[in-house]
């Protein structure tokens, strides 16, 4: 399922949005059921903002509280130590008619898979996100395209709800912030981001330990798999009006031969996008016989979210993705064809 592209949102939530979100939480009855959902194949921001906010709701006294995401209920190894994992339930066990749904880091309902129907129930749906391509679903939207991570939005709402940061909440929000900013390297790393990081670190969390677990630990099989997949990368210097494209792909067979889980492929794009000769980097990850989850990154010449939206996905200007059908060459062909139309002004 794809969503029609929404007009790019330039402004974040206004006071009325914050007040509506705060009221939706404060109005919860003592026995209210709250369901937290994040996007399919959850990354650090999806899980971290959801679990950090969930722990905050627990501190507020919310007793009937579940967190979930679509697809197999499998948390990637780098996140298996996160506080609040006990909130997680498989999607088929999630409340059918929660009194409140809070949705994290999902740009569209399609990213919620089989859980999208939970937003149409009698309860209210609160959406916390930071994608410019957000389709504005749900009842109350806290969508800030200027925010470096959904956790930035989650932390502000927790502060408005008078939930103090503790080390458990902070660990979750810090994972979200570091994954989505590439460890404070990307453009969205504003002074406010560093001030948030300072507040989180002040709770006593250990950034070295967290980074090692999240970014710097993977099985040896994944190291060998990366070698193979990077070895077949292709450089197309003339693509994107001469700004260059570099791409590679990883098949389900690659994963099986090296006995690896799909999540290990999430880090691949970082090894590909460092290519000096290309502005745009793509990694195609096979998810079915002729289906690929595509990650795209740009260094500034191309708006890859435009490419992604045109091909049925979404994301941010310099980091976006979609699901593509066909063989790998055909999927890359469709990307290549979109690049010239997605050039940003120099
Ligand atoms: P990734 O390459 O998976 O790290 O994703 C980069 C960005 O693109 C993230 O902000 C994702 O939310 C977004 N994204 C990735 N895949 C899709 C998709 N199939 N549909 C919509 N957005 C996507
Ligand atoms: Mn995400
Ligand atoms: Mn995010």
Asked if residue 316 has its Cβ within 6 Å of ligand 1, the reply is: yes
Asked if residue 322 has its Cβ within 6 Å of ligand 1, the reply is: yes
- pLDDT-based confidence at residue 346 (cuts at 50, 70, 90): confident
Whole-angstrom distance, CA of residue 316 vs CA of residue 9: 11
Strands 64-68 and 245-250, bridge-based pairing: unpaired
Whole-angstrom distance, CA of residue 231 vs CA of residue 135: 38
- pLDDT-based confidence at residue 55 (cuts at 50, 70, 90): very high
Whole-angstrom distance, CA of residue 304 vs CA of residue 299: 10
- Calculate how far, in angstroms, residue 42's C-alpha sits from the geometric centre of ligand 3: 10
pLDDT at 181 > cutoff 90: yes
pLDDT at 4 > cutoff 80: no
Whole-angstrom distance, CA of residue 255 vs CA of residue 234: 20
pLDDT for residue 3 = 33
Asked if residue 44 has its Cβ within 6 Å of ligand 1, the reply is: no
Task: Give the residue-averaged pLDDT of 59-72.
Answer: 98
Asked if residue 113 has its Cβ within 6 Å of ligand 1, the reply is: no
pLDDT at 308 > cutoff 80: yes
Whole-angstrom distance, CA of residue 278 vs CA of residue 296: 12
Residue 297 host element (H or E): strand 291-298
Torsion angle (degrees, nearest 10) of CA 261, 262, 263, 268: 120
Residues with Cβ–ion distance below 5 A, ligand 3: 45, 105, 150, 180
pLDDT for residue 121 = 86
Asked if residue 42 has its Cβ within 6 Å of ligand 1, the reply is: no
pTM: 0.94
Place of tokens 């996160």: 82
- Domains, the chain: 15-214 (3.90.1640.10), 220-342 (3.10.310.30)
pLDDT at 317 > cutoff 90: yes
Whole-angstrom distance, CA of residue 293 vs CA of residue 83: 28
Among the ranges given (5-14, 193-202, 290-299), the one the predictor scored with the smallest mean pLDDT: 5-14
Strands 33-38 and 64-68, bridge-based pairing: parallel
pLDDT at 283 > cutoff 70: yes
Radius of gyration of the chain (CA): 20
Q: Of all protein residues, whose CA lies closest to atom 22 belonging to ligand 1?
A: 314
- Calculate how far, in angstroms, residue 30's C-alpha sits from the geometric centre of ligand 3: 31
Q: Of all protein residues, whose CA lies closest to atom 14 belonging to ligand 1?
A: 321
Residue 291 host element (H or E): strand 291-298
pLDDT at 180 > cutoff 80: yes
Whole-angstrom distance, CA of residue 331 vs CA of residue 281: 14
Q: Could you give the percent of the chain with pLDDT greater than 70?
A: 97
Q: Which residues have a Cβ under 8 Å from the Cβ of 282 and sit 6 or more positions away?
A: 245, 246, 247, 248, 272, 294, 295, 296, 297, 332, 335
- pLDDT-based confidence at residue 274 (cuts at 50, 70, 90): very high
pLDDT at 10 > cutoff 90: no
Asked if residue 295 has its Cβ within 6 Å of ligand 1, the reply is: yes
Asked if residue 298 has its Cβ within 6 Å of ligand 1, the reply is: no
Q: Of all protein residues, whose CA lies closest to atom 8 belonging to ligand 1?
A: 320
pLDDT, the chain, mean: 96
pLDDT for residue 5 = 37
């Amino acid at each position: 399922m794809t969503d029609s592209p929404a007009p790019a949102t330039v402004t974040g939530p206004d006071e009325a949005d914050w007040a509506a979100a705060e009221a939706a939480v404060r109005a919860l009855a003592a026995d209210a059921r709250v369901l937290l959902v994040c996007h399919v194949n959850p990354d650090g921001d999806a899980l971290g903002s959801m679990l950090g906010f969930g722990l905050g709701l627990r501190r507020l006294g919310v007793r009937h509280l579940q967190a979930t995401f679509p697809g197999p209920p499998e948390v990637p190894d780098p996140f298996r130590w996160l506080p609040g994992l006990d909130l997680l339930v498989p999607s088929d066990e999630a409340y059918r008619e929660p009194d409140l749904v809070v949705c994290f880091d999902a740009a569209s309902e399609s990213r919620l898979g089989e859980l999208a129907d939970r937003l149409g129930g009698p309860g209210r749906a609160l959406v916390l996100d930071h994608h410019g391509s957000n389709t504005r679903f749900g009842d109350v939207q806290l969508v800030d395209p200027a925010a470096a991570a959904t956790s930035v939005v989650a932390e502000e709402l927790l502060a408005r709800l008078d939930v103090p940061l503790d080390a458990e909440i902070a660990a979750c929000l810090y994972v979200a912030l570091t994954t989505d900013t590439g460890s404070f390297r990307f453009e969205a790393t504003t002074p406010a981001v560093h001030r948030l990081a300072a507040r989180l670190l002040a709770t006593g969390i250990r950034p070295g330990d967290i980074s090692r677990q999240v970014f710097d630990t993977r099985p040896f099989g994944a190291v060998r798999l990366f070698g193979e997949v990077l070895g077949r990368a292709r450089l197309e210097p003339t693509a994107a009006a001469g700004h260059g494209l570099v791409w590679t792909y990883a098949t389900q067979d690659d994963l099986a031969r090296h006995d690896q889980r799909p999540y290990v492929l999430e880090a691949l794009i970082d090894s590909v996008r460092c290519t000096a000769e290309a502005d745009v980097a793509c990694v195609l990850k096979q998810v079915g016989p002729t289906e690929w989850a595509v990650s795209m990154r740009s260094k500034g010449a191309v708006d890859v979210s435009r490419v992604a939206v045109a091909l049925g996905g979404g994301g941010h200007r310099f980091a976006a993705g979609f699901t593509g059908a066909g063989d790998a060459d055909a999927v890359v062909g469709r990307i290549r064809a979109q690049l010239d139309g997605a050039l940003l002004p120099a």
